[in-house]
Amino acid sequence: MSAQHQSTPHRKHVEVVRLASQEDARQITSIINLAFSVAEGFFVDEDRITLAGVQALFDSGTFIVMENNHQVAGCVYLEPRGDRAYLGLLSVDPTCQGSGYGSVLMEAAEEHCRVQSMQCIDINVVNLRKELPAFYRKRGYIETGASAFPSDIKTKLPCYFIEMSKQL
* Number of folded domains that form the chain: 1
Q: How far apart are CA 142 and CA 56, in angstroms?
A: 29
Classify residue 128 by its DSSP letter: T
Q: What is the pLDDT of residues 58-68, one digit of tens each?
A: 999 999 999 98
In this prediction, residues 117-146 reach a mean pLDDT of: 96
pLDDT at position 6 is 45
CATH number, domain of 118, equals 3.40.630.30
Does any domain span residue 43? yes
Domain ranges, residue 83: 5-122
With pLDDT > 70 as the criterion, what percentage of the chain qualifies?
92
Q: In angstroms, how far is the first alpha carbon of the chain from the final one?
A: 13
Q: How confident is the model at residue 109 (pLDDT cuts 50, 70, 90)?
A: very high
On whether the CB atoms of residues 142 and 120 are closer than 8 A, the answer is no
Does any domain span residue 153? no
Q: How far apart are CA 108 and CA 1, in angstroms?
A: 6
